[in-house]
Structure 1
Amino acid sequence: MKETIAGVDIPDGAMARAATDQIRSTESELMFHHALRAFLFGALIGYREKLTFDAELLYVGAMFHNVGLNVKHQRSPHRFEVDGANAAREFMRQHGAAESAVQEVWAAIALHTTPGIPQHMSPLIALVSAGVQMDIRGARYGEFTVQQRDEIVQAYPREAGFKKRVIEAYARGMEHRPETTFGTVNADVLDRWDPNYRRLNFCGTVLGSDWPN
């Protein structure tokens, strides 16, 4: 039987069910619930703005958006968003998804922490980012009714200390590859988490380059 939360149906197709099983078994409950809330908030924004999007693809994007923080990726040379996007791409190809859908979900995950870009791309890309940003930093919080927020959090709770715990989860997923945070919001995470972390500065890289002038 299909589950409906805050007026949003949780996708229950074969690919969505497989995504649920995989993420539930590989991520903490904190991050699993965050992914579900991100999907719901993203879908509600899509409905409110009358956007056309595939709910199952939005669901897969939300499910996989933080996979790159898992221990298996901590020695990766890539940004965690790219590792998550690559994992989603592999998963979707295994489930026979159309290549256009695969690439759109890849872009949605890869760009979900990049401010100012996703909202100018496809609805799917915009909504993955919007749902994540709502749950993480309360972006557009006031656009949701109290009933919508409460119903979503009742179904998939924000655990005690969620704000600090999610920052810790991000930091632990990136502390072994600090160079990948250059020029991204992820630098803020390590700057707060690791007292030995020193940000790269874009102006410093320009002025310190090998060019003579």
Structure 2
Amino acid sequence: MTAMETRIVAGISVPHSRLVERAIEHAHHAYEPYLFNHVMRSWLFAVKLAELQNVAHDAEVLAVGTLLHDITLNDRFAGPRRFEVEAADLARDFATDAGLDGRRAQLIWDSVALNSTPSIGLYKEAEVGLCTTGICFDVVGLKYSFIPSSDVRAIVAEFPRLGMKRKMTSCFCHIAKTQPETTYDNFVRDFGERFVPGYTVPSSVDLVAAAPFDE
């Protein structure tokens, strides 16, 4: 197998292929600036973590999954399914249209669909686990001590956060307010309960109790 060409972005060696460049171009046009910077940082953190931990993986799959994982996270999101699943379908379509086979496209789907469910994503295939870790590194500081601080500073300097905490919270609250039925079993519920007046969703306790069986 021929080694993939690479280039340096914010001090990190990343794959340089037409597929990766197309994903970056698509992300750049689809996202508002703070989210574009978030997915770029997440990708770079994932690549660096893979290097530091010597994790073999499909570099193009990791790139596409990480770069497109928040493609539906905006204040226009209208469901009907949770935003990660809607995004996963779009990312898989992108991969399929680019000629990727079913297995690689499915890995991208899993990476996107599970990006905010680390209790599952971290234990999936290497590409899914790395995508999850890179995203969680940027959002909540997962494995923050693993990457040298100089590398973290270089990545953030190249792709500034641009008020991400506040802007991402606003997006999550929009979803909790307008599509609460997509949030009852995922982390967006936390934002609804904390910030959205009148937010209410079904409890798993009630769902079990109301199941249409005698016992």
What TM-score do you get using the length of structure 1 for normalisation?
A: 0.91
How many percent identity over aligned positions?
A: 25
> What pairs up with 1:18-167 in 2 under 5 angstroms?
18-70=22-74, 74-159=77-162, 161-167=163-169
State the match for 2:13 in structure 1: 8
SS of residue matched to 1:67: coil
**What's the C-alpha RMSD, in Å, of the aligned pairs?**
1.8
Note the C-alpha offset of 1:41. Answer: 0.9
Q: Return 5+ residue gaps in structure 2 as ranges.
A: 1-5
Measured in 1, the distance between the counterparts of 2:72 and 2:58 equals 23
Mapped to 2, the partners of 1:33 and 1:79 lie a distance apart of 23
Q: Alignment partner of 2:122: what SS?
A: helix
Secondary structure, in 3 states, of the residue corresponding to 1:8?
strand
Contact 2:84 2:115 in 1 (8 A): yes
Aligned-pair distance for 1:8?
2.7
Q: Check whether the contact 2:115–2:121 (CA below 8 A) recurs between aligned residues.
A: yes
Q: Is the 8 A contact 2:62 2:130 kept in 1?
A: yes
Whole-Å Cα distance in 1 between the matches of residues 72 and 211 of structure 2? 31
**Map of 1:168 onto structure 2:** 170
CA spacing shift, 1:101–1:190, aligned 2, 3 Å: same
- Tell me which residue corresponds to 1:17: 21
What amino acid is the match of 1:153? V
Are the equivalent residues in 2 in contact too, given 1:68–1:82 (CA < 8 A)? no
Query: Cα deviation per residue 1:14-60 (whole Å; 9 max; x = unaligned)?
Result: 12111111111121100000000000111111112211112221111
Contact 1:85/1:106 (<8 A) preserved = yes
In structure 2, give the amino acid aligned to 1:38: S
Q: Please list every run of at least 4 consecutive aligned residues from structure 1 whose deviation after the TM superposition is greater than 6 angstroms.
A: none
Alpha carbons 1:168, 1:193 under 8 Å: kept: no
Equivalent AA in structure 1 for residue 143 of structure 2: R
- In 2: Cα distance, 1:162 partner to 1:107 partner: 24
Contact 1:39 1:58 in 2 (8 A): yes
Conserved? CA contact 2:12–2:44, under 8 Å: no
Q: 1:147-204: per-residue Cα shift (whole Å, max 9, x none)?
A: 0110110110111x32122111233345321111121112112222311111321112
- CA deviation after TM superposition for structure 1 residue 79, in Å: 1.1
What is the rounded CA distance, in whole Å, between the counterparts of 1:101 and 1:185 in structure 2?
A: 27
The AA in structure 1 aligned to 2:45 is: F
Aligned counterparts of 1:89 and 1:174: Cα–Cα separation in 2: 25
Q: Is the Cα contact below 8 Å between 1:85 and 1:105 reproduced in 2? A: yes
Q: Which residue identity does 1:140 align to in structure 2?
A: K
Identify unmatched segments of 5+ residues in structure 1: none
> Where does residue 213 of structure 2 map in the other structure?
211
Deviates more, 1:119-128 or 1:196-205: 196-205
What is the deviation of 1:6? 3.3
